[in-house]
């Protein structure tokens, strides 16, 4: 045997599983095609790394829209607070921001990656620059893996932690799905989640670059509002993006995105009557001013022509010429600016991949395959995903902890 435990993938999950198993004095080897570990980790949280979410376990589960029962055991054994303690002990001070989101005090994801790399060195865990092509199976058990260079690494247990298929430039290209499928696992179709949204409205392109803060975004399915949240969003050349949009995308479940639509409330702090009163006051204070000018005090300039076009009112219309019906239509449009969803952006642009190895085929306590003895899984490769806020990295760490512990405790 070349090693006790062979870890395929040097991302958050693979590295943490190796470090966990090494705590038991076990030998581990990580195979990773990138020059350095944690390429995706480096770009998390816009380079700041939203490491975890400092919440309770029951709050955590509320942020996992699918298959959350699969995570009960691993989250209980490696909690967000355990991860905070772990990285603080590695010498990375952390801070908790709005929404319990945890970041390094330095605001540098690089510090997290460096701390892990240093720990791998201390524990003498080699990271070998190799891309795995297939799993090696003998007598119905996984005995290691073969690389694209033809080298075979034999191990008592093998962990597949190759991530999903989003941001493939970071190395996550879906190899793990193909390898697992080949040995009999079911792959739930990988689709994008936490992803920007393409809209029908061509005016979004004109508003490109506009970032809206403190707005409310509502997601509707068949006229029923299924999600609403306050925060920040962004207009792009294809439609909309930003935290509010990414979070909303995770609520678009089985049906096609075209069955859903969005509404932006540009003034969530005012109800419709209060907004109407505000417009009445502005109009009576500036009766001879054009509506296009008056609205500058209330709305981002780029959205004024859009809103006026939607209610068929010329920007040149003087305030004193605006009827009550027109004013009420204006207030309604400001509180309910509609966006028709055309499609998701491709999975390559998604923060995470929804889908992956079917959880029914994995032991939720040990992360061992129920179909192939000595094969384990951890991280985004598994069909479980969370909303934004540090939940996805915590899933990677917790499943890796369960896998690393179980592999190390296995009789070999
Ligand atoms: C832009 C962006 C920002 C994000 N921000 C956050 C955030 O702030 N907080 C949060 O919780 N989550 C965030 N996420 C999600 C989070 O990064 C992932 O869920 C997490 O990295 C998954 O870890 P993983 O180890 O399972 O997979 P990955 O991090 O994708 O690692 C998989 C590794 O496997 C390697 N690999 C692939 N194929 C092979 C092969 N054939 N042989 C050997 N190795 C292979 C890859 O090179 C890669 O290094 C973000 C994601 C993106 C894209």
What are 328-340's pLDDT values in tens digits?
999 999 999 999 9
Ligand 1 center–CA 151 separation, angstroms: 25
Ligand 1 center–CA 276 separation, angstroms: 48
Q: Is the pLDDT of residue 20 over 90?
A: yes
Q: Is the pLDDT of residue 411 over 90?
A: no
Query: Residue 10: CB within 6 Å of ligand 1?
Result: yes
Query: Residue 246: CB within 6 Å of ligand 1?
Result: no
How high is the pLDDT of residue 149?
96
Q: Is the pLDDT of residue 262 over 70?
A: yes
Digit-coded pLDDT (tens) for 353-378: 999 999 999 999 999 999 999 999 99
Q: Is the pLDDT of residue 258 over 90?
A: no
Rounded to two decimals, the pTM is 0.91
Predicted confidence band of residue 187 (pLDDT cuts 50, 70, 90): very high
**Residue 127, strand partner residues:** 30
Q: 178: which residues sit within 8 A by CB, 6+ positions away?
A: none
How high is the pLDDT of residue 361?
98
Looking at per-residue pLDDT, the higher value among 14 and 66 belongs to 14
Q: Is the pLDDT of residue 104 over 90?
A: yes
Sorted by where each starts, the structural domains of the chain and their CATH numbers stand as: 3-192+354-409 (3.50.50.60), 196-344 (no CATH)
Ligand 1 center–CA 101 separation, angstroms: 18
- Cα-trace Rg, the chain: 25
Which of 109, 247, 351, 394 to mutate for ligand 1's pocket (most ligand atoms within 8 Å of CB)? 351
Mean pLDDT, residues 272-301 taken together: 96
How high is the pLDDT of residue 228?
95
How high is the pLDDT of residue 255?
66
Q: Is the pLDDT of residue 257 over 80?
A: no
Query: Residue 396: CB within 6 Å of ligand 1?
Result: yes
How many angstroms separate the CA atoms of 97 and 50, rounded? 10
Q: How are beta strands 141-147 and 132-138 bridged, if at all?
A: antiparallel
Which of 54, 162, 347 to mutate for ligand 1's pocket (most ligand atoms within 8 Å of CB)? 162
Mean pLDDT, residues 19-42 taken together: 98
Q: Which atom of ligand 1 is nearest to the CA of 39?
A: 49
Q: How are beta strands 224-235 and 152-160 bridged, if at all?
A: unpaired
Query: Residue 353: CB within 6 Å of ligand 1?
Result: no
Predicted confidence band of residue 114 (pLDDT cuts 50, 70, 90): very high
Which of 64, 128, 388, 392 to mutate for ligand 1's pocket (most ligand atoms within 8 Å of CB)? 392
24-38, 130-144, 189-203: segment of lowest average pLDDT:
189-203
Query: Residue 386: CB within 6 Å of ligand 1?
Result: no
Pair 356, 383: CB distance under 8 Å: yes
Pair 330, 337: CB distance under 8 Å: no
How high is the pLDDT of residue 254?
62
Digit-coded pLDDT (tens) for 136-184: 999 999 999 999 999 999 999 999 999 999 999 999 999 999 999 999 9
Percent of the chain at pLDDT exceeding 70? 100
Q: Is the pLDDT of residue 251 over 90?
A: no
Q: What are phi and psi of 270, to 5 degrees?
A: -120, 135
Structure tokens given for 137 = 């199976």
Percent of the chain at pLDDT exceeding 90? 92
How many angstroms separate the CA atoms of 5 and 157, rounded? 5
Predicted confidence band of residue 241 (pLDDT cuts 50, 70, 90): very high
Q: How many CB atoms lie within 10 A of CB 237?
A: 9
Q: Is the pLDDT of residue 253 over 80?
A: no
How high is the pLDDT of residue 302?
95
Digit-coded pLDDT (tens) for 301-317: 999 999 999 999 999 99
Q: Is the pLDDT of residue 202 over 90?
A: no
251-255, 300-304, 318-322: segment of lowest average pLDDT:
251-255
Digit-coded pLDDT (tens) for 76-96: 999 999 999 999 999 999 999
Ligand 1 center–CA 408 separation, angstroms: 23
Query: Residue 399: CB within 6 Å of ligand 1?
Result: no
């Amino acid at each position: 045997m070349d090693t006790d435990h062979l870890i395929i993938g040097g991302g958050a999950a693979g590295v943490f599983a190796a470090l966990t198993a090494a705590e038991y004095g076990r030998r581990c080897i990580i195979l990773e095609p990138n020059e350095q570990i944690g390429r995706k980790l480096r770009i998390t949280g816009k380079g700041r790394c939203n490491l975890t979410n400092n919440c309770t376990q029951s709050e955590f589960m509320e942020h996992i829209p699918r298959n959350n029962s699969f995570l009960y055991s691993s989250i209980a054994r490696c909690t967000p607070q355990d991860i905070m303690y772990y990285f603080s002990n590695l010498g990375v001070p952390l801070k908790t921001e709005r929404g319990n989101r945890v970041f390094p005090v330095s605001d540098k994801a690089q510090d997290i990656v460096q701390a892990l790399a240093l720990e791998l060195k201390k524990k003498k865990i080699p990271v070998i620059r190799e891309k795995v092509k297939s799993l090696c199976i003998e007598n119905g058990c996984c005995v290691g893996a073969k690389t694209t260079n033809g080298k075979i690494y034999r191990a008592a247990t093998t962990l597949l932690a190759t991530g999903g298929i989003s941001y493939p430039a970071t190395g996550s290209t879906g190899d793990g799905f193909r390898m697992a499928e080949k040995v009999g696992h079911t792959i739930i179709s990988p689709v994008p989640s936490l992803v920007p949204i393409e809209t029908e409205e061509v005016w979004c392109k004109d508003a490109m670059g506009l970032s809206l803060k403190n707005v409310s975004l509502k997601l509707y399915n068949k006229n029923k509002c299924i999600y609403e949240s306050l925060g920040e969003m962004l207009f792009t050349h294809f439609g909309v993006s930003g935290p509010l949009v990414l979070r909303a995308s995770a609520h678009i479940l089985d049906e096609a995105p075209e069955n859903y639509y969005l509404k932006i409330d540009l003034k969530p702090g005012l109800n419709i009557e209060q907004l109407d009163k505000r417009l009445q006051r502005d109009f009576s204070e500036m009766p001879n001013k054009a509506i296009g000018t008056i609205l500058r005090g209330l709305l981002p300039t780029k959205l004024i022509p859009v809103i006026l076009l939607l209610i068929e009112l010329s920007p040149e219309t003087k305030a004193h010429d605006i009827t009550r019906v027109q004013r009420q239509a204006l207030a309604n449009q400001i509180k309910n600016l509609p966006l028709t969803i055309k499609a998701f952006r491709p999975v390559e642009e998604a923060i995470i991949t929804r889908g992956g190895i079917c959880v029914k085929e994995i032991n939720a306590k040990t992360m061992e395959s129920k179909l192939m003895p000595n094969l384990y899984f951890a991280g985004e490769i598994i069909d479980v995903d969370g909303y934004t806020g540090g939940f996805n990295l915590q899933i990677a760490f917790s499943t890796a902890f369960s896998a690393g512990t179980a592999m190390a405790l296995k009789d070999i």
